[in-house]
């Protein structure tokens, strides 16, 4: 491959299952930009200008191949009336779920993007990023899947009870969540997003039995993803993807974010030509890695999934923790350039 590609060209080639100039690197920074700007996490998430500035500084410093408008998952539940809890050393978290009783589902109104400050914040961030990176760097947006959103809408245990015991209410909630998800995803594309992550951890057999998923979450995904007007990659937020790869390939997704517990080489074989594989560096262990360990892990992942394209190196959850040292991130960036250049060297395989 002659010449260096832009991050957008590199990523597009990988998604076409072609070998770009090198393996793309997606470093999903959420709150990490606050460090760069010397702000508290709460301050950082108070203005889209801060988030956009943080993303651009991190892009330059660590040499990744994307920026993201995603701030924290709780911003979606905020639109539904939920609370967000900030802390100094980690991502803002969802507070008590806004749906306290299942019978509240009937009267639940689907929020509009235009009237949801937390979503408008995300759209403004995308616009600011787009103004700076144009078409050269992919801007990755995010939606929580209609099937997984109830974990923070009503609490995981209450949702499992609903899923198993209240099918009518479950489907009513899905209809509302689908509408919300499609509106929110399409608004991000209209603002300038290049692709959207469809966060659906409950699609994993770690969370939901396969037969139940096929009767519920898969049906929801097949109805929802085709209504989204742009590229969608399904992320399982650290949960294992291999047992559901064939199912995910039928949803309209173009890629899948996979777990550090997945067998990356097996995943690549199983999804070849259908879903690009995104992963699977262990973001929790990464906090204690040395630069040498980071290089070893990058090399391992590239050897397992790099050949033939269709692979984007990333973490396994979609978020770099606050506690990961900058030296480790620089080592990851250097290692993908050393070992991820196509054609891959024998030594990296």
Partner 1 sequence: MGPEFQDLPGRAAPLSSSGDELKEALLGVDRMRAGKIIRDACAAGSPVDCIEGLIIPVLEEIGRDWEQGQVALSQVYISGRICEEVVNTMLPPGSPSRRHRPKIAIAVLEDHHTLGKQIILAVLRAGGYEVIDYGSGVTVDSLVESVIRDRIEILLISTLMLPAALRAREAIARIREAMPEVRVIVGGAPFRFDPALWRETGADAFGCSASETLEAVRMMGGAVWPER
CA within 13 Å, CB half, 278:
29
Contacts to partner 1 from residues 98-157, by CB under 8 A: 151, 155-157
Contacts to partner 1 from residues 181-220, by CB under 8 A: 205-209, 212
Contact (CB, 8 A) for 68 and 143 = no
Q: Is 272 in the site for partner 1 (CB under 8 A)?
A: no
Report d(CA 151, CA 289) in Å as an integer.
Answer: 31
Residue from 43, 135, 285, 345 in contact with partner 1 (CB under 8 A): 285
Query: Which DSSP symbol is given to 151?
Result: H
Q: What are phi and psi of 91, to 5 degrees?
A: -70, 145
Q: Is 321 in the site for partner 1 (CB under 8 A)?
A: yes
Report d(CA 176, CA 311) in Å as an integer.
Answer: 34
Q: What are the structure tokens assigned to 203, written together?
A: 């699609």
Report d(CA 44, CA 10) in Å as an integer.
Answer: 30
Residue from 110, 120, 272, 287 in contact with partner 1 (CB under 8 A): 287
Residue from 63, 95, 252, 308 in contact with partner 1 (CB under 8 A): 95
Q: What are phi and psi of 196, to 5 degrees?
A: -130, 135
Region from 56-64, 139-147, 170-178, 281-289 binding partner 1, contact rule CB under 8 A: 281-289
In the complex with partner 1, the residue whose CB is nearer, 46 or 282, is 282
Q: Is 169 in the site for partner 1 (CB under 8 A)?
A: no
Q: Of 225, 324, 293, nearest to 27 (Cα)?
A: 324
Minimum distance from residue 86 beta carbon to partner 1 (Å)? 11
Minimum distance from residue 205 beta carbon to partner 1 (Å)? 6
Contacts to partner 1 from residues 243-262, by CB under 8 A: 243, 260
Report d(CA 118, CA 37) in Å as an integer.
Answer: 21
Footprint on this chain of partner 1 (rule: CB under 8 A): 85, 87, 89-91, 93-97, 151, 155-157, 160, 163-164, 205-209, 212, 238, 240, 243, 260, 282-285, 287-288, 321-323
């Amino acid at each position: 491959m002659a010449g260096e590609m832009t991050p957008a060209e590199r990523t597009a080639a990988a998604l076409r299952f072609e070998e770009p100039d090198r393996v793309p690197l997606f470093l999903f920074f959420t709150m990490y930009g606050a460090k760069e700007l010397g702000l508290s996490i709460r301050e950082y998430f108070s203005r889209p200008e801060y988030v956009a500035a943080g993303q651009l500084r991190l892009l330059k410093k660590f040499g990744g191949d994307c920026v993201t408008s995603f701030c924290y998952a709780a911003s979606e539940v905020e639109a539904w009336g939920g609370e967000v809890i900030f802390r100094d050393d980690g991502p803002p978290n969802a507070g008590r779920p806004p749906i306290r009783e299942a019978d509240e589902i009937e009267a639940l109104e689907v929020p509009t993007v235009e009237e949801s400050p937390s979503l408008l914040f995300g759209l403004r961030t995308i616009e600011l990023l787009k103004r700076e990176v144009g078409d050269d760097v992919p801007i990755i947006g995010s939606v929580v899947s209609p099937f997984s959103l109830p974990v923070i809408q009503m609490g995981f245990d209450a949702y499992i009870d609903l899923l198993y015991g209240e099918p009518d209410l479950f489907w009513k909630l899905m209809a509302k969540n689908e509408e919300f998800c499609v509106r929110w995803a399409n608004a991000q594309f209209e603002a300038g997003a290049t692709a959207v992550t469809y966060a659906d951890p409950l699609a994993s057999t770690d969370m939901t039995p396969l037969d139940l998923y096929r009767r519920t979450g898969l049906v929801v995904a097949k109805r929802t993803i085709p209504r989204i007007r742009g590229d969608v990659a399904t992320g399982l937020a650290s949960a294992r993807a291999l047992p559901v790869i064939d199912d995910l390939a039928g949803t309209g997704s173009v890629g899948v974010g996979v777990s550090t517990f997945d067998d990356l080489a097996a995943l690549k074989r199983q999804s070849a030509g259908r879903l690009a594989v995104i992963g699977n560096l262990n973001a929790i262990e990464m906090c204690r890695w040395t630069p040498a360990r980071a290089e070893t892990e990058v090399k391992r992942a590239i050897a397992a999934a790099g050949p033939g394209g269709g692979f984007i190196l990333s973490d396994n959850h979609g978020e770099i923790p606050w506690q990961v040292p900058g030296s480790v991130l620089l080592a990851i960036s250097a290692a993908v350039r050393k070992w991820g250049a196509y054609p891959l060297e024998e030594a990296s395989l």
